[in-house]
A = this chain, B = another copy of it.
């Protein structure tokens, strides 16, 4: 592709993307008839032997790729969690691809590192996070990770290093380390612990209360029991907004225990943390003054397209102790002076692209007001939805709904709720996901009604709810 063809094709693609997003409501959320292999079967089994025009690619996007997508930007996408994008952030991603620089260390592209550091500090201000996370604080700093999974793993590794006084780098012995979380924590906690050599036998599931939040008293009890057994508590993950039901672990009480016990506290605010952009939701930050690390994802509820997880720590020395490796070909004067940040030592991979651009573009071109308005409206609609659900005696609400997720089920029981989710999704016009919450000692199938897409308005929520009502009337 020549530069001129790039210009022409690029303009066409920009227009195509605008049309995709503007017209997304006319598409189904997904095609429920699609079976594994259906997309591939429409594509050539072998690589092309002749060059094709860009128009052929665009045509296949329309005819094969888009019909094979689950459209996460769709206003009727109520599944999983939001993965919002925005026009400005899309242009930031395009710029990163166009520049094609590597940000693994300061010297490999100083602007890539410095814009990123600045964005973390800007976001510390906008979210009103503790100043101890700032890069210009004595011991803290922040970095963009690809995902909360990676942020959590990085936190575990820093904790592992600190608790063992660095010995783990040499002996790899993790066999006495114990971590604490709850059944409601994200799957990435178990996955990260497993990767870090903390098998599930040493992952404690602390009791939860009837809001699905960690019971601090049980955490304290379990830590004491493990110490008594000669084990070494090293890591607690408190969720501020669980994936399953938006439960909020009591991070202040947990943080006080962690301080006393000298255990690393990581707070996972992947989904809900950006709510702190809105002053009345700053309570989501409670406990961060006591946390050793924290993450939240602008690629979920803020419109900075994936991947953009913000990770802060108040103990960068432990993070660097855990992850720094310095071969000859990566040494530089800037590093040796101690003045520069080399982000490769803050993350699992070595390479990294210029991800800060999408945040920078969005904060400059859109500001935070549209996001604040969106978050407020999503929260308002969730409360509105809860009123509608409450008024329908066939349904019940299964968990607190402080933000943008409502967990509901049919009073008729689990089979009915499962059938309802299945029936709703089989229309392809909406998408919900199911979770299971233990209520009164019994597992309850729950429909997660997650209201988080940028384009979702009240009429979409209402239509989704009316669909559920009509399906419930039919069969459940």
A428 on the B face (CB < 8 A): no
List residues 334-379 of chain A with CB under 8 A from any CB of chain B: 334, 337, 339-341, 348-351, 353, 360-361, 363-368
1/0 per residue, CB under 8 A from B, across A91-129: the answer is 101111111111000111111101101100111011000
Residues of chain B contacted by A197 (CB below 8 angstroms): 168, 172-174, 196-197
State in angstroms the CA–CA spacing of A70 and B150 once bound together.
26
Contacts of A71 in B (CB 8 A): 101
Determine whether A1 belongs to the interface, using a CB cutoff of 8 Å to chain B. Answer: yes
Q: Report if A330 contacts B (CB, 8 A).
A: yes
Min CB–CB distance A315 → chain B (angstroms): 18
Q: Contact at B100–A365, with CB atoms within 8 Å? A: no
Q: Which of A416-464 contact B (CB under 8 A)?
A: 433-436, 448
Question: For residues 316 through 344 of chain A, which have their beta carbon under 8 Å from a beta carbon of chain B?
Answer: 322-323, 325-331, 334, 337, 339-341
Beyond A7-B14, A433-B329, is A195–B194 a contact (Cβ under 8 Å)?
A: no
Contact B172 A202 (CB under 8 A): yes
- Number of identical protomers: 2
A387 in the interface (beta carbon within 8 A): no
Q: A409 near B: Cβ within 8 Å?
A: no
Is A404 positioned at the interface, with any CB of B under 8 Å from its CB?
A: no
A47-65 vs B, Cβ < 8 Å mask (1 yes, 0 no): 1111111101100010011
Write out the residue numbers on chain B whose beta carbons fall within 8 Å of the beta carbon of A108. Answer: 70, 72, 80
Interchain CB contact under 8 A, B448 and A329: yes
Binary interface profile of A, 163-180, with partner B (CB < 8 Å = 1, else 0)? Answer: 000001111111101000
Q: In the complex, are the beta carbons of A1 and B365 less than 8 A apart?
A: yes
Asked if residues A122 and B47 are in contact (CB atoms below 8 Å), the reply is yes
- Closest B residue, CB atoms, query A93: B97
Contact B187 A111 (CB under 8 A): no
B residues less than 8 Å from A436 (CB atoms): 328
Q: CB-defined interface of A23-57 with B at 8 Å, one 1/0 digit per residue? A: 00000000000111111100101111111111011
**In contact, B111 and A68 (Cβ under 8 angstroms):** yes
Task: Please tell me which one of the listed residues B100, B111, B169, B322 contacts residue A306 in the complex, with CB atoms under 8 A apart.
Answer: B100
User: A465 near B: Cβ within 8 Å?
Assistant: no
| Least distance between A456 CB and chain B CB atoms (Å) | 14
How far is it, in angstroms, between the C-alpha of A368 and the C-alpha of B46 when the chains are bound?
13
- Name the B residues within 8 Å of A66 (CB-CB): 99, 111
Which residues of B sit under 8 angstroms from A314, Cβ to Cβ?
none
Question: CA–CA, A18 to B242, complex, Å?
Answer: 44
Do most interface residues of chain A lie in helix, strand or loop, or is the interface mixed? helix
List residues of chain B with CB within 8 A of the CB of A16. 98
A195, B348: Cβ atoms under 8 Å?
A: yes
Interface hit among A81-89, A210-218, A219-227, A246-254: A81-89
Interface flag for A469 (CB, 8 Å): no
Chain B residue contacts of A111, Cβ below 8 A: 39, 64-69
**Pick the contact of A37 from B39, B146, B173, B339 — CB < 8 Å?**
B339
Q: Are A17 and B329 in contact (CB under 8 A)?
A: no
| A39 B69 Cβ-Cβ under 8 A | no
Report whether A200 and B1 are in contact in the complex, using a CB–CB cutoff of 8 Å: no
A313 touches B (CB below 8 Å): no
Q: A114 and B364 in contact (CB under 8 A), knowing A90-B97, A172-B174, A194-B169?
A: no
In this assembly, does A10 line the interface, its C-beta being within 8 Å of a C-beta of chain B?
yes
Contact of A187 with B350 in the complex, beta carbons under 8 Å: yes
Name A153-203 residues within 8 Å CB distance of B: 153, 157, 168-175, 177, 186-188, 190-191, 193-202
A296 at the interface (CB under 8 A from B): no
Q: What would 6 A/B residue contacts be, using CB atoms closer than 8 Å?
A: A2-B87, A48-B363, A51-B364, A57-B365, A64-B111, A93-B93
Nearest 5 pairs between A and B by C-beta?
A: A197-B197, A68-B111, A17-B98, A172-B199, A10-B14
Task: List 18 other contacts, CB 8 Å, given A36-B114, A171-B199.
Answer: A3-B22, A4-B18, A17-B95, A34-B110, A35-B339, A52-B365, A57-B360, A65-B99, A70-B109, A72-B109, A93-B96, A146-B146, A171-B201, A172-B177, A172-B194, A172-B197, A187-B325, A348-B348
